A and B are shown apart, each in its own frame.
Chain A
Amino acid sequence: MFSDGDAAENGDVWFRVLTQKDHIKRGRIHHSAFTGNAISSPDPNKNRPWSRELSGRLRSKAGTIKNIEDFAVAFCDKLTKAGGGTKTFCGVMYAKVCAIRKPYRDILTLGVFFTPLKADPAHADVTFSNCIGETREAREALMLWLTDQVEGLHHPGQVHHLPEANDRVSG
């Protein structure tokens, strides 16, 4: 039974809803998708053992592709109502947990942890342990690397290619 803060299984797939169509280019994720507050500090009240996180969801907890798409559309509707213009579900970035759980240049370790929320029981974060350098140079180097670790799928038309967790067939 998974609990909040547990590491995701290696066979699982982490994915993140994208609201900007240009953040996916020919199956690649544009580095802009990682800028701003995308990679942020964890909630200090949760005492997480990582220093930064990129929020997303776990494929194994998110249900069918239709469930995933419906959730993403509702998520964007909710964001739109919160202000700042219309948000549209444009696709997902994703990575297999086993592929993204790796060290970066011996200074940073990436992980994927299950961090369910009331609004999203499938919520999970890609986490960055140790430290991300605060310099612009360090962030730039991370961007050059990180963009190779994830892939992108457009919506509509491609999200059904999102891999299953453990290669199980989605219901």
Chain B
Amino acid sequence: MTPEVRLGAAISIEGLQFAYGSGPRVLDIPSLVIEGGSRVFLHGPSGCGKTTLLGILSGVLQATSGEVRVLDRDLVTMSGSQRDSFRAEHVGYVFQQFNLIPYLSAYDNIALPCRLDARRRARLGSTSLDDAIRNVAAQLDISALLDQTSTTLSVGQQQRVAAARALIAAPELVICDEPTSSLDTDRRDAFLALLASSVARANATLLFVSHDASLGARFDQQLSLPTLNRSSRADAA
């Protein structure tokens, strides 16, 4: 939450190219900038490289070439374990589904990032981990579920637990990969409202990816990956 990051771009991409191994190029993005603190909707059909881009932005995947700056750090020049630490400290991630470690309770799932990484834990400042978990659980309306095993939760409840885990200790960047696609409309709307308010409270940048363009209106900025990604344009042609 350093001021310069807040003021500058949360994500800035220059000439990004990516291919899995020696396979075909999946991503070719000349330029992309996402302002800090904004809530961005990234839209694209299935298979256009959305998840791959998120993998690169979270530091799990390494760009083949180009510059990828996240929170003013150049991920391309960082080592794998540096990127892992970076992700643990600064990024919250919500999957489409199956977000939770099945053998941990909701509480322990939410605690996981802080237990895994001391610097993420340090972001809590003087707040205890237990308080932080209960606060974020209250925001997402899952206080009553904390002691339950993940497998006993409904899909909507699981997604809210996942959001709580992504938001714990206020990371600067929250990435959501189609988190609502397995929810019905009512639950989807409720989830999006909770997510939006929690992200706003944490002052985080939100990157929300979906194939469902109808969700875009709820966000500050809408991007279309096929438009950004020259590789998918080539595929389409």
Chains A and B form a bound pair:
no
* Contacts from B to A (Cβ < 8 Å): none
* Contacts from A to B (Cβ < 8 Å): none
